[in-house]
Amino acid sequence: MKLSILIPTHNRPKLFSRALHSVLNILPKYEIQIIVNNDSNDIVEQYSDNVCIKYYYYKYNDISSIYRQLFERSSGEFVYFLEDDDYILPNFFNCLDYSYDINYMEYISEPLINLYGPVKALDIISTNRKVNHNNNAQTFFDTFDDEEFQLGQILFDRKLVKDFPTGNHINNDYHLFRNIAKLSKRFKYIKDKTWVQTTDGNDNISFPKLNSDERFC
């Protein structure tokens, strides 16, 4: 199995369907799996003849346990987390390079645009492009603010994960990246925008200023 795409979803059945179909509409030629956890029991299970999709309904007060359960139930060599209110773009799979243990991808951010306006939002997103990281994940990691990092920006080799972060902390995704960056041998920065981060769910579990998820302390 080449890639596992993991989708946690909570109280957003229509947005989940959009996220799922953004993957199903552009499936690559190699084998992938999609694993979903819906802890609000409000989605219609959807399947495809072309890809393995598994559904789980675990409930935890600690949201990081949902992420960990998704990771542990996956079998792909590489892992990608797709939030239910985001979606990938048609160029997503074409931009990936599996000879690198971390692929870091840019995105279109509706939250940043809504908070700061389009000019400053684009400047924030493009800041990392100016960094001379020499394909080194640790050097790259040290250059940006934890509040601007989104888990959907990294697709990574599962062997890099030695200790999955747990506990209801808004910056768990940042800590996960920190941990795997230390072990990364080959890091690729992809400047092309490959996914869209939205505020369509009226909440954002990866963006602190917009987070109101009751599962976080």
Domain with 132 in it: 3-210
Each of the 217 residues of the chain gets a pLDDT tens digit; together they read 799 999 999 888 999 999 999 999 999 999 999 999 998 889 999 999 999 999 999 988 788 889 999 999 999 999 999 999 899 999 999 999 999 999 999 888 877 778 888 777 777 766 555 556 677 888 888 877 666 678 899 999 999 999 898 887 778 888 899 999 999 999 998 988 899 888 766 554 444 454 555 554 3
This model's pTM is above 0.95: no
Residue 31 domain-assigned?
Answer: yes
Domain-located, residue 23: yes
Q: How many domains does the chain have?
A: 1
HEC profile of the chain: CCEEEEEEECCCHHHHHHHHHHHHCCCCCCCEEEEEEECCCCCCCCCECCEEEEEECCCCCCHHHHHHHHHHHCCCCEEEECCCCCEECCCHHHHCCCCCCEEEEEEEEHHHHHHHCHHHHHHHHHHHHHCCCCCCHHHHHCCCCHHHCCHHHEEEEHHHCCCCCCCCCCCHHHHHHHHHHHHCCCEEEEEEEEEEECCCCCCCCCCHHHCCCCCCC
Is residue 217 a part of any domain in this protein? no
Q: Does a structural domain hold residue 95?
A: yes
Domain membership of residue 122 (yes or no) is yes
pLDDT the model gives residue 115: 83
Residue 130 confidence (pLDDT): 56
Cα dihedral across residues 105, 108, 112, 118: positive or negative: positive
Can you say whether residue 73 is alpha, beta or left, with left for phi > 0 and alpha for psi between -120 and 50 degrees? alpha
The pLDDT of residue 206: 46
- The verdict on residue 194 lying in a domain is yes
Per-residue pLDDT at 94 = 97
With respect to residue 216, please indicate whether it lies within any of the assigned structural domains.
no
Q: What's 7's domain CATH number?
A: 3.90.550.10
In-domain check, residue 215: no
- Residue 208 has a pLDDT of 47
